Homo-oligomer: A and B are copies of this chain.
Amino acid sequence: MKVFEIDFFIDEPFTLESGEILPSLELRCSIYGQLNADKSNANLVFHALTGSSKIGDWWKGLIGDGKTLDTSKNAFVCVNYIGSCYGSTSARSMKNRRKKQKELPVITTRDIVRSNALLFEYMGIKKFKSVIGGSVGGMLALQLVADFPGIADECVAIGATPLSSMALALNHIQRQALALGDLGIARQIAMLSYKSPENFDLRFGRRPNRNGENPSKKHEHRFDIGGYLDHQAKIFDERFEIESYRIITRAMDLFDLTNEEIERIQAKVTLVGISSDWLFPAKDVEKLAARFNVNGVKTDYLEIVSDDGHDAFLSDVQETSAVLKQVFEKRQRPRLVLCAA
C-alpha cells in the first residue's frame, strides 16, 4: 500500500462562518493508495475528534491492499481538518504565524468542509466515489455532501447526529476542565461517553487497580477503571492540544443540518447507528435517517451491533467492516434495511 503525505499552504484569507478571518490555511493531507489519472478512484475519509489524516493509524484493520477499504483499487484521501493539531491550521500554528492571535475563533463543520473543498479543487478531484466518516468524521461527511451536492456518489456516516442535550452537556463539562488547564479530565469524561457500561463491566468490573492498590484502605488507591482512565489521560495529554480540543468540540456542538441543507444532498446516504452507543444513540441515528428520507434524500439505516459503545467504529473492526461492505456492495443488491448482526 502506497501512502502519500502532503502539506498544503493556501496563502489567502479564509472567512469563517462567524465572520472572523483566518489569514491563511494550512492543510495536511494523506492519500492511501494510488490516485489514477482521472481521479475516478478517489474516496474521501474524515477522521474523528482526536484523529489525524493518517487513516492507517486508526483504521489499521480496515484499510490496505485487499482490505475493506481496498487500496489496491481505490485511493483514500484524508485531510487533517482546521482546528486540529496534526498538521493543519491550529491554535499553535496561528500563534507561530501571528504573535498577537491568542486563539482560533469558533470553527464550524461548514468551515471545515469549505476549506477542504479548496484543496480538492487544487488536487483536481471533482467527485469522490464515496465519503466516509465516524463520529465527527460522520458529521463532516454529511456536511460535505450537503454543501457540495455533486461531490460524492455515496456517503456513509457512522455514529453521527446533531448532539443531544446530554452530549452538549458532556462537551461543556470537558471544556470546563480545559479552562482549568486539564486536558486529561476532559479525555476521561470523553472516554466514558465512547465506551459502554457493558464494555467497562467486562474489562474492569469492580476490581481494584491491577498494580495492587486497595481502595478500601487509602483515598489515593484506585479501582482498576480509575487506573485505566488515569493512563488514558496521561497518554492523551502527551499527544493532543487543549486549544484543538476546545475548538473541535465546539464544531461538534454546532453541527446541525437544516432541512434546506438536507434537501440539497445528491449522494446516496447510509447512516449507521451503533447498538451500545450512548453518546450518539442508535435511535437518534435512525431518526435522522427518517428525516433525510422525508426530505427526499434516499437514506439507508444500518447498525453496528457491538457492546463497545461509540468507539465500536474504531475498535470493532469486524462489525464495522461488515457494514461498510454492505454499503459498497449495495448496488448489486436490493435496498438494505437490515442491521449487520
| Residue positions of A touching B, CB distance < 8 A | 17-18, 103, 105-106, 108, 162-166, 168-170, 172-173, 176-177, 180, 182, 184-185, 188-189, 191-192, 195-197, 200-201, 203-206, 215-219, 222-223, 225-226, 229-230, 233, 246-247, 250, 253-254, 256, 278, 281
Return 29 A-B CB contacts under 8 Å, by A number: A18-B216, A18-B217, A105-B219, A108-B216, A164-B197, A165-B200, A165-B204, A165-B206, A165-B223, A168-B204, A168-B206, A168-B226, A169-B188, A169-B200, A169-B226, A170-B192, A172-B225, A173-B185, A173-B188, A176-B184, A176-B188, A180-B182, A180-B185, A185-B185, A189-B189, A215-B250, A215-B253, A219-B250, A278-B278
Is B216 in contact with A192, judged by CB distance below 8 angstroms? Answer: no
Query: A168-B225, A200-B164, A200-B169 are known contacts. Are A185 and B176 too (CB-CB below 8 A)?
Result: yes
Question: How far does the alpha carbon of A20 sit from the alpha carbon of B318 in the complex, in Å?
Answer: 51
The answer to whether A106 and B17 touch across the interface, beta carbons within 8 angstroms, is no
Nearest CB of chain B from residue A26's CB, rounded to whole Å: 21
Question: How near does chain B come to A223, taking the closest CB pair, in angstroms?
Answer: 5
Q: What is the count of identical protomers in the complex?
A: 2
**A218 pairs with B106, CB closer than 8 A:** yes
A222 partner, pick from B172, B203, B225, beta carbons under 8 A: B172
Q: Given contacts A173-B188, A216-B17, A217-B18, is CB(A253)–CB(B223) below 8 Å?
A: yes
Extra 5 A-B pairs, beta carbons < 8 Å, given A165-B201, A165-B225? A166-B192, A172-B225, A173-B188, A177-B185, A180-B182
A217: nearest residue on chain B (CB-CB)? B18
Contact of A229 among B173, B195, B256 (CB under 8 A): B173
Given A173-B188, A173-B189, A206-B256: A166 and B219 within 8 A (CB)? no
Chain B nearest CB from A182 CB (Å) reads 6
Q: Which 5 A-B pairs have the closest CB atoms?
A: A165-B200, A172-B226, A166-B197, A165-B204, A173-B188
Q: How far is the CA of A201 from the CA of B164 in the complex (A)?
A: 7
B106 near A225 with CB under 8 A, answer no
Min Cβ gap A218→B in Å is 7
Q: Please give, as numbers and ranges, the residues of chain B lying within 8 Å of A226 by CB-CB distance.
A: 168-169, 172
How far apart are A89's CB and chain B's nearest CB, in angstroms?
Answer: 16
